[in-house]
Amino acid sequence: MYLLYLDDSGSASDPGMEHFVLGGVCIPEENVRWLSSQIEDYAASIDRENPKSVEFHASECFKGAINPWKTMHDKKERILVIKNILGKLNDANPGVVVMGCAIHKPSFPGQDPVELAFEDLSSRFNMFIENHPVGETRQRGMIIIDKSTYELGLQKLAGDFRTSGNRWGSQLRSIIEVPLFVDSGSSRLVQLADHIAYAIHRRYNQGDITYFNCIENRLYQNNGVIHGLSHKQHYTRTCTCPACISRK
């Protein structure tokens, strides 16, 4: 089984923010415990007495307004924390891949960017599973997302995809259940998904590749085409982001 941990970054309703991002990490079930323990060990290096109190949220770490990040007065130190969390992917099994979708909101007036991003990523996840059987065994997948105001809507949407299909006619038969919504404080891998979404968000909204460079080599790709990252937009045909370039 493959598990896709997702989180969002950016506001779906803020008109001053052009892109909404949903992103995260796809992990074979046998690698879940190892990767989670790597992040748990890093939390212990920050607060050895109470590592459970250290919850990794990239935007909060960057701002440094709450504990433990406000004790790190040097912004470079907090940026290094974000990079170190993303760096945990470097030693992971090659089967661990990054997935994300950036929705250019002005390109889709009147449409919900959250639903657009979820539809895109769930379809890509389903395709990934179908292309990665283990021997003769067909794999299955499950999506795990940080609890949010989108919970009821996305559960219904996922159910509709499984019974009626999405806009491309796919019924996502390799995804076994509607998304599981969890508190990010209880899942180190949802916290990793938060950092991945933040890295993609900074790339598309601020043009900052500081964190995106940490994950680019982990984006799911096949035959030179990046399938793990989607940039949904209609505003330019000359976008030079990796997702758009690899499809030209």
pLDDT at res. 202: 97
* pTM: predicted TM-score of the whole model, two decimal places: 0.92
* Cα–Cα distance for residue pair 178/162, rounded to 1 Å: 9
Amino acid at site 213: N
CATH number at residue 170: 3.30.420.10
What are the structure tokens assigned to 164, written together?
């009626």
Q: Considering its fold, how many domains does the chain have in total?
A: 1
Which residue segment(s) compose the domain that 36 sits in? 2-245
Q: Is 169 helix (H, G, I), strand (E, B) or coil?
A: coil
What's the Cα-to-Cα distance from 75 to each of 86, 163, 203, 236, rounded to whole Å?
17, 48, 19, 35
pLDDT at res. 153: 61
pLDDT surpasses 90 at 18 = yes
**133-184 per-position pLDDT tens digit:** 776 678 899 899 888 757 656 766 656 655 554 554 455 678 887 788 888 8
